[in-house]
Amino acid sequence: METLLQYQPHIRQTADHLRSDFEAIETARTLAADFATRAANRDAERTLPYSELDEIARSGLLAITVPAEYGGLDVSNAVLAEVTAILAEADASIGQIPQNHFYILEALRVDGSEEQKRYFFGRALAGDRFGNALSERGTKTVGDYNTRITPEGPGYRVNGRKFYSTGVLFADWITVFALDPEDHLTMSFVAKGTEGVEIIDDWDGFGQRTTGSGTTVFNNVYVNADAIVFHHKGFERPTTIGSVGQIIHAGVDLGIARAAFAETVDFVKNQSRPWMDAGVERASDDPLTIAKIGDIAIRIEAAAAIIERAGRKVDVAQMDPTEAHVIDATLSVAAAKVLTTEVALAAATTLFELAGTSATRIGLNLDRHWRNARTHTLHDPIRWKSHVVGNYHLNGVKPPKNGAL
């Protein structure tokens, strides 16, 4: 019986190969300019972005974190977050969909075997997409799992039901997280179309409407032994798995904030009326409006700056994953996630505060920015990030090791 990693021994290059951080940023900007033109309609009609994800795959952006020794660009984490923010500013759902793809590649880099890295990094370079089957409903906490993986012959069988399976609808590989008989968390690569896998498009959240984050069911799905990564090991020692995942989420929130801010500026300049007591001819001359615009602009700039700083710290921790470096990266990314959450919500609310009642018209669909901000920022509660940061500085308590930090 052939193993999974021998199934496609010759990688056929189907995606572009980006050669610099600058090229990655410019590619994201080019794609984003196109995606933005139809973003409001996609949200209103819940049109899933299949063609847009195909374009991203062909562009080479999904391979930008592949390590250089495996043929990838290996961009800095600051660039990864900025690419995410650019895409999310154009369409917040499109910006979020690849988050799990990059998280999976980081988990592979940290704990995959040499053979697994060669194969799956090769697939990423060819344009393959990895979707997430991690979260479940009905468990005690988001960190608990009912999905199980059990040995059978030379391989394993997976049984369970996942929700919030962001990216699976658009993926070539479903990455399923399941507990083994020793209750260790594993990460298995299952090819799209494998027998026993059912994907249900039932995501009905009021925001991030086109991420396709529905249900994935695994009914006695066979998994080759060489397709399993022991994911729990990545949280038994200092690693950057959680930091990479979280800085991408921060990038999504930053993009949402930028989109809402741009809509606010445009509406106030071109459509809003000044308040009657302002004594000005144009809404854009209202001193209180000007000050509020300045406040949001400053907070967006601060959020972008802390993401860049946090990204550099994650780079250091990846190169030298000492406990000190990983903690430094973790705390900095947590701070970035707090600030981007706050500014995304503030910018989306300020849009209506300053633009006025006419901005609430359904046909404009400007409320998608608030709906997207509120939905996406629910992933990981920032109150616990503030607690982690404060507990470390005040009591010397080290941050817990998990994918939410």
Give pLDDT tens digits for 84-124: 999 999 999 999 999 999 999 999 999 999 999 999 999 99
Contacts for 65 with CB less than 8 Å, ≥ 6 apart = 72, 73, 74, 75, 80, 102, 105, 106, 244
* Distance, CA of 27 to CA of 174 (rounded, Å): 26
Question: Hey, how many other C-beta atoms are within 10 angstroms of the C-beta on 320?
Answer: 10
Q: What is the pLDDT of residue 2?
A: 38
Q: What is the pLDDT of residue 150?
A: 98
Burial of 344 (0-12, 13-18, 19+ CB in 10 A): buried
CB 71 within 8 A of CB 125: yes
- Angle in degrees, CA 348, 349, 352, rounded to 5: 100
CB 15 within 8 A of CB 172: no
* Distance, CA of 356 to CA of 171 (rounded, Å): 41
The one-letter amino acid code at 129 reads R
When computed from its CA atoms, the radius of gyration of the chain, rounded to whole angstroms, is: 22
Give buried/exposed letters for 267-305 (b at 16+ CB in 10 A, else e).
bbeeebebeeeeeeeebbebeebeebbeebeebbeebbe
CB 247 within 8 A of CB 317: no
Running DSSP on this structure, what letter comes out for residue 369?
A: H
The pair of structure tokens assigned to 94 is: 């499109």
Q: What is the pLDDT of residue 67?
A: 98
Contacts for 371 with CB less than 8 Å, ≥ 6 apart = 206, 207, 208, 209
Q: What is the pLDDT of residue 13?
A: 54
* Distance, CA of 341 to CA of 373 (rounded, Å): 8
Q: Which domains does the chain have, with CATH numbers?
A: 21-129 (1.10.540.10), 148-232 (2.40.110.10), 237-395 (1.20.140.10)
CB 41 within 8 A of CB 210: no
One pLDDT digit (tens) per residue for the chain, 405 residues = 234 444 444 444 589 999 999 999 999 999 999 999 999 999 999 999 999 999 999 999 999 999 999 999 999 999 999 999 999 999 999 999 999 999 999 999 999 999 999 999 999 999 999 999 999 988 898 889 999 999 999 999 999 999 999 999 999 999 999 999 999 999 999 999 999 999 999 999 999 999 999 999 999 999 999 999 999 999 999 999 999 999 999 999 999 999 999 999 999 999 999 999 999 999 999 999 999 999 999 999 999 999 999 999 999 999 999 999 999 999 999 999 999 999 999 999 999 999 999 999 999 999 999 999 999 999 999 999 999 999 999 999 999 999 999
| Backbone φ and ψ of 379, nearest 5° | -55, -50
* Distance, CA of 240 to CA of 108 (rounded, Å): 12
The pair of structure tokens assigned to 291 is: 């000050």
Q: What is the pLDDT of residue 290?
A: 98
Beta bridge partners of 173: 130, 191
* Distance, CA of 18 to CA of 86 (rounded, Å): 17
